[in-house]
Amino acid sequence: MCAGAAFGGRADRRRPLFAPRLHYTSRMHTTDLTLTRPDDWHLHLRDGAMLAAVLPHAARRFARAIVMPNLKPPVATVALAGAYRERILAALPEGADFEPLMTLYLTEATTPEDIAQARASGFVHAVKYYPAGATTNAASGVTDLRRCYGVFEAMQKHQLPLLMHGEVTDPAVDVFDREPVFVERHLTALLRDFPALRMVLEHITTSEAAHFVRDAPAHVGATITPQHLLMNRNAIFAGGLRPHNDCLPVLKRETHRRTLVEAATSGDPSFFLGTDSAPHPRHAKESSCGCAGIYSAHAAIELYAEAFEAAGALDKLEAFASFHGADFYGLPRNTGTITLRKQPWTVPDELDFGGTPGVPMRAGESIAWRLQA
Ligand code: DOR
Ligand code: ZN
């Protein structure tokens, strides 16, 4: 393992990157950024009225999204995933062009037959691992990864990726160390025992995770959220406790944020866009025991543009947002485009989350890029 190596230095082991089809025009004080329509490889859409309220934000920006299965009850079977997919399609606004890519919630009752069925369905694209109790609706998650080895065998055979919430839940482990400890205790063993299993370490937050993925074989990838590129853990305590900046894995030190920016902007195809946009009602966040989750779907690609621009790497945004994930999942790249304009706008203080107010990322504050119609 070469922990000190720079990102992007492994092109020799990877297929070459295509030249980005990026059109960056600056005319009469207007700067437009046109890129191939992106996809969101990690999204929480919820269900019912909340689904109907948040789905248009994602569908306006992204052509496809990997939809998280942590509903109540969890989306643990192909039949449940199929029904959930129908509800998402029914909730799409008129004329929207958006494809939900479904996932199965891994439980200790998941069988190799479920995996074969998932692969045969054509609409289930991955299986999501939550350590039991790690986060929102993770109670039905897995207590011991070894109980799932038969299922991992089947996933390896059927080429169905394992998406991981990569944190240990051991109460003896400091909350800020839960991801590096997961990498050390579990990821290394998984990679050894299932050398061909496709894996995505979701919403990575630390240098340890970024370096592990960088140095792992090409079938190990990672998603990176806008909040982990734009904020460090000071944002949770800025002038008082800020529940709307609380998510899991929790924000980390500035040094980790910088490594994540380096990874995202490196051009390394292992890293791709996954917002982890996770709506919760305002009252559920502003509580004595608040829910973890940051809602970013209202401005996701705009926020990524800000992070890439700050790093002087706008030319790397398209590959991260529109190519790497599709290539990893073996899906065709999108053909349409979206355009962002450098035109600051103010995010509303709150949004309707389906009959209940919710507080979006950057509420009441400015965002530098605006999505054009
Ligand atoms: O912050 C988070 N919110 N992290 C997760 O892992 C789950 C998500 C949610 O569903 O609210
Ligand atoms: Zn998530």
Check if 292 has its Cβ closer than 6 Å to any atom of ligand 1.
yes
Is 305 in contact with 317 (CB distance < 8 Å)? yes
Residue 26 has pLDDT above 90, yes or no: no
End-to-end C-alpha distance for the chain, whole angstroms = 46
User: What's the whole-number mean pLDDT along residues 92-118?
Assistant: 97
**Residue at 16 is within a domain:** no
**Residue at 13 is within a domain:** no
Q: Which pLDDT belongs to residue 1?
A: 31
User: What's the whole-number mean pLDDT along residues 247-256?
Assistant: 98
Lowest mean pLDDT among 2-16, 123-137, 347-361: 2-16
For the stretch 120-169, pLDDT in tens is 999 999 999 999 988 888 888 999 999 999 999 999 999 999 999 999 99
CATH number for the domain spanning 81: value is 3.20.20.140
Domain that holds residue 179: 32-371
Residue 268 has pLDDT above 60, yes or no: yes
**Residue at 12 is within a domain:** no
Check if 247 has its Cβ closer than 6 Å to any atom of ligand 1.
yes
Residue 286 has pLDDT above 50, yes or no: yes
**Residue at 18 is within a domain:** no
**Residue at 5 is within a domain:** no
**Residue at 3 is within a domain:** no
For the stretch 228-241, pLDDT in tens is 999 999 999 999 99
User: What's the whole-number mean pLDDT along residues 202-225?
Assistant: 98
**Residue at 297 is within a domain:** yes
The closest alpha carbon to 334, from 323, 342, 324, belongs to 323
Portion of the chain with pLDDT greater than 90, in percent: 90
The closest alpha carbon to 8, from 259, 219, 267, belongs to 267
Residue 17 has pLDDT above 90, yes or no: no
User: What's the whole-number mean pLDDT along residues 162-183?
Assistant: 97
Q: Which pLDDT belongs to residue 22?
A: 61
Average per-residue pLDDT for the chain: 94
User: Which residue's CA is the closest to the ligand 1 atom numbered 4?
Assistant: 248
- For ligand 1, pick from 50, 72, 136, 163 the residue to mutate: most ligand atoms within 8 Å of CB: 136
Q: Total structural domains in the chain?
A: 1
Residue 206 has pLDDT above 80, yes or no: yes
Q: Which pLDDT belongs to residue 354?
A: 98
pTM (2 d.p.): 0.94
User: What's the whole-number mean pLDDT along residues 66-84?
Assistant: 98
Task: Give me the residues paired with residue 162 across strands.
Answer: 127, 199
**Residue at 19 is within a domain:** no
Question: What is the C-alpha separation between 325 and 181, in angstroms, rounded?
Answer: 26
Question: What is the C-alpha separation between 213 and 200, in angstroms, rounded?
Answer: 9
